[in-house]
Amino acid sequence: MARPDLALMLCLALAAPAAGDIAYVTNQNGSTLSLVDLQTASQVRQTALPGEPAGIAVVPGAVYTVSAGTKTVRRLDPDTLAVRAETVLDGGPIGIAVDAARGRVFVSDWYEARIRVLDAQTLAPLTDLATGAAPAGLDLSPDGRWLASADRDADAVSVFDAQTLELRHRAGVGTRPFGLRFAPDGRLFVGNVGSNDVSVLDADTGDLLATVPVGDRPYGVAFAQGAAFVSNQYAGTVSVLDLATLDQRAVLTVGDYPEGIDTSADGSLVIVANWFDNTLSVIDAATLDVVHEIEVGDGPRAFGRFILSGGSP
């Protein structure tokens, strides 16, 4: 169960008037965090965030970041960007996900084949979960039942019971999985940077349902308008897959070296962070047009869930 004061903070944030969706973008090269107002398609603030930040997870009332260079995990106020808590971890922290309902933060440890479980308010370590080699991307299922990690050097995905933290499955996928995301229907989509495809898993059973070819070096996955959107780093594209058939609907040209990808709250927009171009590409999820290119900081990664509905610029 969430800590009472954190739960109150989250409830107050949910009750606040919506001010539009805000993208919180970690800029690894520049050691900054960009705030982008998606209503105006503009960067409204950029603030220093030391240590080469990459991983990010946002929930109502809190922004969590992982600075890979200094191994620092921070909890920030989403409005002021003041640091409310921070901790330095050993190993190689990179990916992050938040279980706000249970008051937990999960951080993948690239070097030590584990997930660090932290208190969501204080960031104090609670326990560790063993994964396959080199875990990177993390995600929590929409119903809060499963926690999944992409174990890159094991060519596998680990699925844990998010309540008990017990390992339920370790399933083989493609070569070098890195980013992953649960679809709205609970299926798990995994981008395999080594085999240029996406593995689709049944998270309940661990069964591999499909393997779908995409572009060169697929990195992240997001969902909107009945489709999966996959960022392809080396191709500079986003592959659009029909969720019902898994057929390819389109391939969209975005910026150079697209990585983090997320969806606006209403599902109308897909936002992609282009690491080499220092931009965000904004895609209309219905028409599949790239409708904006927004300048951000140096080296945007946005590795995780980075769009917060009703944020305050």
pLDDT one-digit tens code per residue, 139-148: 999 999 999 9
Over range 184-192, report the average pLDDT: 98
pLDDT score of 190: 98
Q: What is the pLDDT of residues 148-158, one digit of tens each?
A: 999 999 999 99
Q: What is the pLDDT of residues 210-265, one digit of tens each?
A: 999 999 999 999 999 999 999 999 999 999 999 999 999 999 999 999 999 999 99
Query: What does residue 13 show for φ and ψ, rounded to 5 degrees?
Result: -65, -40
Over range 201-207, report the average pLDDT: 97
pLDDT score of 313: 56
Q: What is the pLDDT of residues 7-26, one digit of tens each?
A: 433 333 333 323 489 999 99
Largest CA distance in the chain: 46
Return the structure tokens found at 83: 């640091």
Contact indicator for 129, 150 with CB cutoff of 8 Å: no
Over the chain, what is the mean pLDDT? 93
Return the structure tokens found at 195: 């085999």
Estimate to the nearest angstrom the gap between the alpha carbon of 115 and the chain centroid.
15
Determine if the pTM surpasses 0.85: yes
Comparing CA positions, the residue from 84, 80, 83, 121 lying closest to residue 99 is 121
In this structure, the number of other CB atoms found within 10 A of the CB of residue 125 comes to 14
In this structure, the number of other CB atoms found within 10 A of the CB of residue 184 comes to 11
pLDDT score of 309: 87
Over range 38-54, report the average pLDDT: 97
Return the structure tokens found at 111: 């070097």
Question: Residue 297 carries which side chain, given as an amino acid letter?
Answer: G
Contact indicator for 269, 258 with CB cutoff of 8 Å: no
The CA distance from 159 to 17, in Å, is 36
Q: Which residues contact 152 (CB under 8 A, 6 or more apart)?
A: 133, 134, 135, 136, 176, 177, 178, 193
The CA distance from 133 to 128, in Å, is 14
Over range 278-296, report the average pLDDT: 98
Q: What is the pLDDT of residues 88-99, one digit of tens each?
A: 999 999 999 999
